[in-house]
C-alpha cells in the first residue's frame, strides 16, 4: 500500500511540475502565469477539483513513448467563482507547448460533456502551440470532437474562452464558437495561418501582433470581446463577468441584493440631449447613470463603437444593454455594428437575460462600401435577432429613430414589451431636412420656403406624439425617471411567457 501511495504522489508531483522548472521560469519571464497559477486566480480558494491529473498521451512515433508527462499539457476539472460551480480547462504551455493530442482533447471533452449535463458554464484558458504534429490525424480528430461539443453546448451553457498565449490554426475555431473571447494584451495571439505561412503564400511580412494580437481582434476584426493588460487582470475581469451570467439556459440570471434605489431619479439626464439635433452626446453617460451602482461590463468597446453592448444590473437583476452611440457615425447602423449587436442579442435571449435598448439612430449608414459589403443581409441579422427574442424587451428612444432603423432597434412592432420615448424623441421615416427635399422637390420656389416646410415637418412628425397616439410608444417619460420606469417594467415582466411556432431551428440571414 505504501509503495502505491509513493508512486501516486510521485506522479502527482510530476503533473504539478508540468514541463519543469526551466520551462516554468521561461513562462514567468514572458509575464505569463502557469496553467495552475491561472486557475488559482480564476477560482475561489481551495475550490478546484482536478480530473485526469495522471492521463498521459499514447503516441509512440518519433520517440514520443519516452517522453510522457502526467496531465499531458492541460489541467481540467471544476471549481467555483463566487460560490457558483464552473467547469474549467487550462492549457499548459510548459508541456509540449500546450499542443493538443488525442488524450489532451479527451480530457477537455470530458469536462465539456459534464458541464452540459449538470448545467454549468465552462471556461477555457487557451495557451497552445496547436495540434501535436507527432500524432497527425489523431490530433485533428481531437479538435473536431471539441468543435462538435462547442456546437452542442451553444445556447445550453455559457462558454467563455480566454486566450492567454498562442492560439493558431484549427485551434482558433473552438474559441470562435464560444460565446465570449477575452485576450491578454501583447502575449496572446489568434490566427488561422501564422506569419511564416502568410509570407510564403502572399509574400507579406507581418508580426504575430499585427496579424492576430489583442489590438487587432478588439478593434478591427471584432473576434475578441475585450483585452486586458496581463494574466491577473484578465482573470479577475473574467470572474467579474461571470457574476452576471446564469449557469445555464434552464435558469434565470442571478439576482443580487439591490443596494441602489430602483426609484432613484437622475436629474442630470434631463440635460443630456442637446437642443441642436445635429450635435452628439455620449450615450454611455445615460447607461452608467441608470444601471445599479454604475457597474456596466461593456463588450467590444473599441469595435463598431457606433453601437454599445454589455451587461449590467437593474434592481439587482442582470440585463443586456444595447444602445446607439451618437458620438460615432452619429449612431448609424452599419455592417459591423449590426453583426456585433445581433450576436449579443441572441446570447441574451439564449440565457433569459432581459434586453434594455436605448435608441438614437438616424438610419443605416449610406455608401457604396456598405451596400457592396452586404448591409442588407447584415442589417437583417439585427432585425432577426430582436424579432426572435422572447425575453423581456424594454426600449427607450432618447432622440432620433428614423426609417427602417427605428423598426430594427427593438420597436413595438418586433414584440417590444415596453417602449418609452423621451420628449426629445424624433420618430419619423427620415430627418426633417431630407424629408422636405423629397416632398417638395417639384414645388416652385421650394428653396425660398424650405425652412418653413422643415419646421412644419418637424412639428408634425419629428416628435414622439404621433407614435404615442398609435400605441407604438407606451409612454413619453421624463429622462430623470428612466431608471425607475425600467425597473418597474422589469418587475412587471419577470414572469413573461410567450409561445412561438414549433421549428427545428431558425434560418437567420448569415
Nearest alpha carbon to residue 506 among 349, 363, 374? 349
DSSP codes joined into one string, 430-473: S-HHHHHHHHTTTSTTHHHHHHHHHHHHHHHTSSSHHHHHTTSS
> Which listed residue (26, 109, 155, 170) is catalytic?
170
Count CA within 13 A, CB hemisphere, residue 59: 23
Residue with cell 508527462: 69
Nearest-angstrom CA–CA distance, 43 and 253? 20
Count the residues in the chain.
510
Nearest-angstrom CA–CA distance, 146 and 128? 15
Is residue 502 packed enough to be buried (19+ CB in 10 Å), middle (13-18) or exposed (0-12)?
A: exposed
Pairing assessment for the beta strands 159-163 and 166-168 based on DSSP bridges: unpaired
| Cβ–Cβ under 8 Å, residues 183 and 221 | no
Q: What angle do CA 483, 485, 489 make, to 5 degrees?
A: 115
C-alpha grid cell, residue 86: 464552473
> Which listed residue (155, 222, 403, 404) is catalytic?
404
Q: What are phi and psi of 400, to 5 degrees?
A: -80, 135
User: What is the 3-class SS of 282-350, one letter each residue?
Assistant: CHHHHHHHHCHHHCEEEECCCCCCCEEEEEEEECCEEEEEEEECCCCHHHCECHHHHHHHHHHHHHHHH
Q: What are phi and psi of 291, to 5 degrees?
A: -80, 160
Three-state DSSP class for residue 5 = helix
373 an active-site residue? no
Q: At what angle do helices 432-439 and 446-460 cross, to 10 degrees?
A: 130
> Which listed residue (153, 405, 425, 462) is catalytic?
405
Paired strand residues for 402: 428
Q: Which helix (H) or strand (E) holds 244?
A: none
In whole angstroms, how far apart are CA 76 and each of 80, 107, 424? Answer: 13, 7, 54
Three-state DSSP class for residue 79 = strand
> Which listed residue (124, 169, 331, 379) is catalytic?
169
Other Cβ atoms within 10 Å of 172 Cβ, number: 21
Is residue 386 packed enough to be buried (19+ CB in 10 Å), middle (13-18) or exposed (0-12)?
A: buried
| Cβ–Cβ under 8 Å, residues 180 and 209 | no
SS3 content of the chain, % helix, strand, coil (to 5): 45, 20, 35
The beta strands (E) that lie in 185-306 are given as: 189-191, 226-228, 296-299
170 an active-site residue? yes
Residues belonging to the active site: 169-170, 404-405
Amino acid at each position: 500500500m505504501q509503495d502505491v501511495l509513493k508512486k501516486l504522489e510521485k506522479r502527482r508531483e510530476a503533473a504539478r511540475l508540468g514541463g519543469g522548472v526551466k520551462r516554468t521560469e521561461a513562462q514567468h519571464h514572458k509575464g505569463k502565469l502557469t496553467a495552475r497559477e491561472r486557475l488559482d486566480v480564476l477560482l475561489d480558494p481551495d475550490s478546484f477539483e482536478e480530473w485526469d491529473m495522471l492521463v498521459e498521451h499514447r503516441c509512440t512515433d518519433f520517440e514520443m513513448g519516452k517522453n510522457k508527462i502526467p496531465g499531458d499539457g492541460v489541467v481540467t476539472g471544476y471549481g467555483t467563482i463566487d460560490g457558483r460551480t464552473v467547469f474549467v480547462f487550462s492549457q499548459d504551455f510548459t508541456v509540449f507547448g500546450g499542443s493538443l493530442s488525442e488524450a489532451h482533447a479527451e480530457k477537455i471533452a470530458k469536462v465539456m460533456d459534464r458541464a452540459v449535463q449538470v448545467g454549468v458554464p465552462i471556461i477555457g484558458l487557451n495557451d497552445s502551440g496547436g495540434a501535436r504534429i507527432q500524432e497527425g490525424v489523431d490530433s485533428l480528430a481531437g479538435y473536431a470532437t471539441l468543435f462538435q461539443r462547442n456546437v452542442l453546448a451553444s445556447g445550453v451553457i455559457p462558454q467563455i474562452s480566454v486566450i492567454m498565449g498562442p492560439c493558431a490554426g484549427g485551434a482558433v475555431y473552438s474559441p470562435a464558437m464560444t460565446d465570449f473571447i477575452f485576450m491578454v494584451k501583447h502575449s496572446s495571439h489568434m490566427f488561422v495561418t501564422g506569419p511564416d505561412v502568410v509570407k510564403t503564400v502572399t509574400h507579406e511580412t507581418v508580426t504575430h501582433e499585427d496579424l492576430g494580437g489583442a489590438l487587432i481582434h478588439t478593434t478591427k476584426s471584432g473576434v475578441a470581446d475585450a483585452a486586458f493588460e496581463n494574466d491577473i487582470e484578465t482573470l479577475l475581469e473574467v470572474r467579474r463577468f461571470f457574476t452576471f451570467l446564469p449557469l445555464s439556459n434552464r435558469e434565470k440570471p442571478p439576482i443580487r441584493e439591490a443596494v441602489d434605489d430602483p426609484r432613484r431619479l437622475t436629474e442630470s439626464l434631463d440635460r443630456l440631449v442637446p437642443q441642436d439635433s445635429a450635435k452628439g452626446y455620449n450615450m454611455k453617460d445615460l447607461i452608467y447613470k441608470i444601471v445599479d451602482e454604475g457597474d456596466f461590463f461593456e463588450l467590444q468597446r473599441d469595435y463598431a463603437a457606433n453601437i454599445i453592448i454589455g451587461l449590467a444590473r437593474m434592481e439587482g437583476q442582470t440585463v443586456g444593454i444595447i444602445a446607439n452611440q451618437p458620438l460615432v457615425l452619429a449612431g448609424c447602423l452599419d455592417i459591423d455594428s449590426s453583426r456585433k449587436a445581433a450576436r449579443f442579442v441572441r446570447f441574451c435571449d439564449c440565457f433569459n437575460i432581459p434586453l434594455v435598448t436605448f435608441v438614437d439612430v438616424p438610419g443605416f449608414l449610406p455608401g457604396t462600401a456598405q451596400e457592396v459589403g452586404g448591409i442588407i443581409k447584415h442589417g437583417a441579422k439585427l432585425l432577426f435577432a430582436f424579432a426572435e427574442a422572447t425575453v423581456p424587451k424594454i426600449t427607450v428612444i432618447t432622440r432620433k429613430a428614423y426609417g427602417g432603423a427605428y423598426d430594427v432597434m427593438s420597436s413595438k412592432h418586433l414584440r417590444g414589451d415596453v417602449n418609452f420615448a423621451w420628449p426629445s424623441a424624433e420618430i419619423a421615416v427620415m430627418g426633417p431636412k431630407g424629408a422636405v427635399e423629397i416632398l417638395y422637390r417639384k414645388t416652385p420656389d421650394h428653396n425660398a420656403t424650405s425652412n418653413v416646410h422643415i419646421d412644419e415637418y418637424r412639428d408634425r412628425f419629428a416628435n414622439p406624439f404621433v407614435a404615442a397616439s398609435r400605441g407604438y410608444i407606451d409612454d413619453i417619460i421624463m429622462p430623470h425617471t428612466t431608471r425607475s420606469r425600467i425597473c418597474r417594467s422589469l418587475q412587471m415582466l419577470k414572469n413573461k411567457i410567450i409561445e412561438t411556432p414549433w421549428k427545428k431551428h431558425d434560418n437567420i440571414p448569415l
